Structure 1
Amino acid sequence: MTTEPRTEPAAAKTSPDEIDHATRTARYRDRVFAEHDRLAAELVDLPGQQKRVLADLLEFNSGTEFGKRHGFAAIRTVDDFRRAVPVQDYAAHAPYIERTAAGEANVLSADRPVVYFTSSGSTGAHKKIPVTARFMRTTFFPFYYAAWAPLLRHFPEVAARPDAVLNLKHDPPARPPVMADGRPHVGASQVDFGAKFGEPLAAELGTRAPWATLPVETDPADHLERLYLRLRLAVQGDVRMLIGINPAVIAAVPYQLGLWWPRIVREVRDGTVGGVRTGSPDPARAAELERLAGYFGTVRPAHVWPRVRALFCWTTGVASLYMPALRREYGVDVATLPAPVAASEGPVAVALDRHPEAGTPVASAALYEFVPADDDLAPDSETLLVHELEPGHDYHVVFSHVGGLYRYAVGDVVHVPDRVDGVPRLRYAGRGTRSDVAGERLREAQVVRALRDALAAGGLSLRNVACRVERSAGSAHHYTFAIAPGTGWHTTEAQRFLGRLDAALAARSDGYRRARAGRRLTAPTLRLLEPEAFHRDWHAAVAGGVRPAQAKDRLFRQDDALWERLTGPRPADADDGHHH
């Protein structure tokens, strides 16, 4: 008996784009792991590293107006620095920043800003954060690269192809707004780091996907249409991971699939994007999507992208309450990896391992100081250094870095869950603002923990939550909690939840307990909303001009109009601001 000689199948040809991606990915991985290892090594001598950071920023900026006014040249120790510079917030820095933005040099930093990062802040007002080349090299890029190390180590397939990642924070403007000095004023996610800072490798995963650059002209201000167009293109991809940083962006996707589903399927079938023919019709994928909708009734991300492995976003604060349910929307085995504890002004901590919520301090990025979260921040607040933090406590964050922010109270509170090899690990606990009408001095972190306690005790879940203070009968006030439940709540369950929440708030906050005992606060009340209420509210904010990356969860909501938008009846003709 004879057989035909065995031949190997012809090797598939590799396109130049694939070769380029493979080469770039290899270089990217090398850089990510190198920065990860360097930041990890710095933790061996955390106090010494912090002293070197202070010495560097003092030397570099001693000749600036701020440096001369505060005697940087004579400062030798952290205590000297504390005596010379008060703890201060954005408002205290703002006059210097405005002069810099008008074109004046050598005010806060010896280095001129290249761009200005924008930040929504706790009030929604847009800040202007000067971003210098030295800041990016010393403070920003090391943590920015290192943040991706756990992802690339444990889920390497997400970097295998350009279209494996749906990056929902990537939305570079065609014509960015500029300051008087001609520098752009944009979000960090909107900056081309290669063009501006000579760091082409800093382009995030997913920024080379087919949907990263839209194939049709759009109004740059129509954020919802741009979200739709990316989602419409991505349903034809094999997405393995989503990046949002702001978890509200990722939480909106299941709602958007339902909201835009008929249009998505029609455009896939016709080969159009935003009504414009951009490719070949794909009736097979359209039919597959229709079968999914028919079989499951409600189409979820897990149905559209069955091979999603991870979500990369903030996992703490209010998001911690809905993250378990959100993760299930994408698949039972999907992992959540925490984005760094950071603000537009600078980083605080980055996860160097697979901890689901916390990271380690970025020792070489800034000089970090902390104030117990129950204390009011003041110019002369006594501060602790990072190696002095104790597990189980919450702290206000104050940092100083070479980019020109000095003893800057960023407005965030961090929690210390533990120490690893003597180094405290930090996780974002909430904004530092308080709700206080009757001496209760409630912090966001305290309310989130009380909500978690009350939900767990009753086996309940939610999709999102907000609260506000309202006047009760007489002179007392009470808190009203607006909750979109994860599943329907029975009347008895809701009543028991309120009792447990009241007790949990009293246990978490001495001020709340005293206010309730003194009858300055009465028992909280509850408004159960439709499951999609917060998603509609988020869409309304984005339709009103808020960039998706900055339309964040807000627990405390005292604005009457915004509260009514969230809790009021939905108009019969509401279309969530989307244009068909």
Structure 2
Amino acid sequence: MRDYRKRVLEERANLEAALADADDHQCRVLSELLEHNADTEYGRAHSFGAIRSLDDFRKAVPINDYAALAPWIERMAAGESNLLSADDPAVYFTSSGTTGSHKKIPVTPGFMRRTFFPFYYAAWAPLIEHFPDVLDRPDAVLNLKHDPRPTPPTTASGRPHVGASQVDLGTRFGEPLSAEPGTFASWGTLPVPVEENDHLEKAYLRLRLAVESDVRCVIGINPAMVAALPYQLTLWWPRLVKEIRDGTLGGVPYGTPDPERAATLERLADHFGTVRPAHVWPRMRALFFWTTGMASLYLERLREEFGPGVTALPAPVAASEGPVGVALDRHGSAGSLVVTASAYEFLDAESDIRPDSLTLTMNELEPGRDYHVIFSHIGGLYRYAVGDVVRVVDRVRGVPRVEYAGRSTRSDAVGERLRDAQVIRALAEAARATGLDVRNAACRVADRPEGAVAHYEFAVAARDRWSEQETNRFASELDTAIGRESAAYRTARSTGRLGLVTVRRLDGDAFLRDWHARVATGIRPTQVKDRLFRQDHELWERLTGTDPVGEGGTA
């Protein structure tokens, strides 16, 4: 732990120091990736050896998305070398995006050393600096994202194709200190057999073990996983208490029966009328996950579930493809650009991303505005549009500090061009204006008869009841707030191409049931994220209906 703490704080100090020479670091990153990969097939095709500046780079290389690079990546995954990177990938990360597709993100040793590990270690600095007791014991942290696979799937060339949280970074990349907090808890590797894709049962088994521990911190990264935890406690409570009393785990004898702990838990539930994480783990200190995007709607209520004074620390602004920003202090949502990791470019979020789009550098960004992120790094991703939108919060030592604002996906039925971030901010504004509690939300362009005017239909989860008058006022405030966020939406409304939004209030657990139903299909929980735009009719009916399919965790 002493060595781990030293490494984490050193990496944070290095990134902080780099902010003072951010422009030089950006030039150095670009020069290094060009030199390292000049003789690759992609490097030769785009004249890497002749590029001397970012302007040269922009002229020589188009903006890419995954589809543009996929032919190269598939050849690499089949075993060809020296295509995008001079290094052969050691592993391929799966995408944790919301599209349902399983991308193959090539991960080279050079990328891990130069781009990944510095930000990865530094990301834990605010947690271990200000909450050092989370490292006192292996079981002080419930790490929900840790999900090792003993026999991972592989590419045609035999390389593992797994999520970033499923890779043993110590063994694969020679980083023995890289294990995340909580990974050595008794539930880190489940001690009883469970089907590989039965992720709900895995979640139950981990919770069953954690309920007997003095957990101080929960790590989720994906906030939907953390939001599900209070719901799971209630859902699985009778089974949890029974297994603790009987000394079983998933019906298998495990450990020593503990009727005293079971009785204590039953008394807590009887006294409070429900069970919350704060009751089970009264010394909880911190949560670690993305605190923005849809999570911003339910963050405060979620923190209350875990206890008074619990701190929510933001996970890095990052994707499987690479990092963007990392919090170097206790800011609640934003992190500084990782200027030593990638060469960054940006595009105003209102613009469409085209191969020849004119991009901005970090020095041209304005606080309070949203931008598409485009990065290039030594691992073989060049001018890569990751599909995320960030919002610039402020600057630290002249370097933008950014928070995740949402996906770049648009909803565009009649030219309104709505983005996640715009609608999420409008939902928050409508909640403030009406004083109503919003736990989560989704929307779609409502089904309509031929010739009828289109309008957006919102499903909004709330714990308390709303009167018809309150619901109508919320809809009106929401419609106005979306118009303030989006000029295109405002125009569509004023010209009669869109009608007033409608709002359907769902019970407070509706989105949690939906999350469980999606996980029950075999999707890893890290990949089941909050989704705002939901145009699929069948999935919409499942969300807004009452069928609790996929609850899992049954006795």
TM-score normalised by L of structure 1 = 0.94
The counterpart of 1:117, out of the listed 79, 93, 96, is 93
Percent identity between the two aligned chains: 64
Partner Cα distance (1:122, 1:396) in 2: 17
Matches for 1:96-245 after TM superposition, within 5 Å: 96-245=72-221
Tell me if 1:39 matches 2:15.
yes
Partner Cα distance (1:294, 1:138) in 2: 53
Partner Cα distance (2:178, 2:313) in 1: 19
One-letter amino acid of the counterpart of residue 465, structure 2: G
CA apart distance, 1:487? 2.2
The counterpart of 1:255, out of the listed 225, 231, 238, is 231
Partner Cα distance (2:324, 2:106) in 1: 18
Partner Cα distance (2:485, 2:305) in 1: 31
Identify the residue that residue 448 of structure 1 maps to in structure 2. Answer: 424
CA apart distance, 1:475? 3.2
Identify the residue that residue 366 of structure 1 maps to in structure 2. Answer: 342
One-letter amino acid of the counterpart of residue 227, structure 2: A
Identify the residue that residue 551 of structure 2 maps to in structure 1. Answer: 576
One-letter amino acid of the counterpart of residue 159, structure 1: L
Q: Is the 8 A contact 2:395 2:401 kept in 1?
A: yes
Partner Cα distance (2:475, 2:96) in 1: 32
Identify the residue that residue 498 of structure 1 maps to in structure 2. Answer: 475
Tell me if 1:81 matches 2:76.
no
Partner Cα distance (1:545, 1:428) in 2: 27
Q: Is the 8 A contact 1:460 1:486 kept in 2?
A: no
Tell me if 1:271 matches 2:247.
yes
CA apart distance, 1:57? 0.1
CA apart distance, 1:537? 0.6
SS at match of 1:294: helix
Identify the residue that residue 287 of structure 2 maps to in structure 1. Answer: 311
CA apart distance, 1:107? 0.5
One-letter amino acid of the counterpart of residue 230, structure 1: R
Partner Cα distance (1:576, 1:122) in 2: 21
The counterpart of 1:548, out of the listed 515, 525, 544, is 525
One-letter amino acid of the counterpart of residue 125, structure 1: S
Identify the residue that residue 529 of structure 1 maps to in structure 2. Answer: 506
Bigger drift between 190-199 and 466-475 goes to 466-475
The counterpart of 1:427, out of the listed 386, 403, 406, is 403
One-letter amino acid of the counterpart of residue 246, structure 2: D
Q: Is the 8 A contact 1:394 1:416 kept in 2?
A: yes
Matches for 1:456-495 after TM superposition, within 5 Å: 456-472=432-448, 474-495=451-472
Q: Specify every segment of 5 or more residues in structure 2 that has no aligned partner in the other structure, as ranges.
A: none
Q: Is the 8 A contact 1:121 1:127 kept in 2?
A: no
SS at match of 2:374: strand
Identify the residue that residue 558 of structure 1 maps to in structure 2. Answer: 535
Q: What CA RMSD, in Å, does the superposition of the two structures yield over aligned residues?
A: 1.0
Q: Is the 8 A contact 2:461 2:506 kept in 1?
A: yes
CA apart distance, 1:472? 4.3
Q: Specify every segment of 5 or more residues in structure 1 that has no aligned partner in the other structure, as ranges.
A: 1-24
Q: Is the 8 A contact 2:197 2:523 kept in 1?
A: no
Partner Cα distance (1:414, 1:57) in 2: 24
> Where do 4+ consecutive residues of structure 1 move more than 3 Å?
471-475
Partner Cα distance (2:251, 2:26) in 1: 55
Identify the residue that residue 17 of structure 1 maps to in structure 2. Answer: none
Identify the residue that residue 544 of structure 2 maps to in structure 1. Answer: 567
Identify the residue that residue 487 of structure 2 maps to in structure 1. Answer: 510
The counterpart of 1:338, out of the listed 303, 314, 324, is 314
1:26-58 CA-partner distances (Å, limit 9, x unpaired): 100000000000001111011111000000000
One-letter amino acid of the counterpart of residue 339, structure 1: A
Matches for 1:358-437 after TM superposition, within 5 Å: 358-437=334-413
Q: Is the 8 A contact 1:135 1:403 kept in 2?
A: yes
Q: 1:551/1:159 Cα in 2 relative to 1: closer, same or farther (>3 Å)? A: same
CA apart distance, 1:559? 1.1
Partner Cα distance (1:176, 1:469) in 2: 39
1:243-293 CA-partner distances (Å, limit 9, x unpaired): 000000000011100110000000000111011111000111000000011
Identify the residue that residue 7 of structure 1 maps to in structure 2. Answer: none
1:151-174 CA-partner distances (Å, limit 9, x unpaired): 111111111111100000001112
Count, aligned residues? 554
Partner Cα distance (1:122, 1:440) in 2: 22
Partner Cα distance (1:152, 1:547) in 2: 27
Partner Cα distance (2:254, 2:276) in 1: 26
CA apart distance, 1:575? 5.5
CA apart distance, 1:421? 2.4
Q: Is the 8 A contact 1:369 1:386 kept in 2?
A: yes
